[in-house]
Amino acid sequence: MRKSRIAVTLGGAVAATVLTISTASAITLEVDVAGTTPWPGGAVTARCASTEEAVGCFRSDGDWFSLVDQKSDGHSVVIRWATYDPKSNVMQREGIIWNTAGLNAYRYMNKNLAEGDFLEFSMCAAEWSTKHIIENTCAGTTSATA
């Protein structure tokens, strides 16, 4: 009787832990289309990633992203980004920002990122109609602090 009570108690504790972990770790992909409102003026320090197709930058002052399509190839461009807790290195948020405006059109997106989080982002060409990212066009990852 005592063994079965211990087994039931342990089984319940394990199940509760698994449910808590899986619920707490669910992250929703944030998908945005960048707009024409530029980041505020003034001296700007930004971290940038670039490919043959595009340039994308992040400005920690205000959490602004900018991206521009540099190739007349019929593709859109995206910034793929993710933030991580600097202490635990656990992903906090992730998203994709689209620029569908075409060649040489700068677009901007303001995100409210947690202060001090570690940010990684890269640039890619993509197909807006199918929401498909063309993986072999993606640039190496650039990092910054939010």
Give per-residue pLDDT as tens, 112-144. 999 999 999 999 999 999 999 999 999 889 999
- Enter the pTM of the model: 0.80
Helix (H, G, I), strand (E, B) or coil at 69: strand
> For the chain, what percent of residues have pLDDT higher than 70?
81
Region for 69 from its dihedrals, namely left if φ exceeds 0, alpha if ψ lies in -120 to 50, beta otherwise: beta
Give the whole-angstrom CA distance, residue 93 versus residue 82: 6
Closest by Cα among 146, 142, 101, 144 to 123: 142
How many CB atoms are located within 10 Å of the residue 15 CB?
Answer: 10
Q: Which two tokens stand for residue 122?
A: 């890269």
pLDDT value for 112: 95
pLDDT tens track for 11-59: 444 344 333 333 456 899 999 999 998 887 766 778 999 998 999 999 9
Q: What is d(CA 78, CA 114) in angstroms, rounded to the nearest whole number?
A: 22
Confidence class for position 74, pLDDT limits 50, 70, 90: very high
Does the structure show a pLDDT above 80 at 104? yes
Alpha carbon dihedral 107, 51, 104, 64, in 10-degree steps, equals: 20
Domains and CATH numbers, the chain: 29-145 (2.60.40)
**Average pLDDT estimate for 70-97:** 97
Q: Rounded to a whole number, what is the distance in angstroms from the first to the last CA of the chain?
A: 55
Q: 35: closest CA among 101, 93, 80?
A: 101
Alpha helices in the chain (DSSP H): 2-24
